[in-house]
Amino acid sequence: MQEFDFEKLNVYQKGLDYVHELFVIYKGLPREFKHTVGDNLIRAGLSITNNLAEGSGKRFKK
């Protein structure tokens, strides 16, 4: 399986760990908070790793 450059970044790996922890928190939330606070937590966490992946493919000349 092909590994992308961003998958080697320490910050990306830490972001994945962070998202995993957010899912643990999400699962522990009371039902009434899962669709408000929980969804926002998950989206914010996934946004970090998605932005790192998207940004790592862009190369610019100085």
The pLDDT value given to residue 32: 93
Contact 29, 37 (CB under 8 A): yes
The pLDDT value given to residue 60: 65
8 exposure class (CB count in 10 Å sphere: 0-12, 13-18, 19+): exposed
Unique residue bearing structure tokens 């922890």: 21
Closest by Cα among 12, 19, 16 to 55: 12
pLDDT in tens, the chain (62 residues): 778 888 999 999 999 999 999 999 999 999 999 999 999 999 999 999 999 999 887 666 66
The pLDDT value given to residue 26: 95
CA–CA gap between residue 21 and residue 6 (Å, rounded): 20
Relative orientation angle of helices 39-56 and 10-28, to the nearest 10 degrees: 170
Question: pTM of the predicted model, to two decimals?
Answer: 0.80
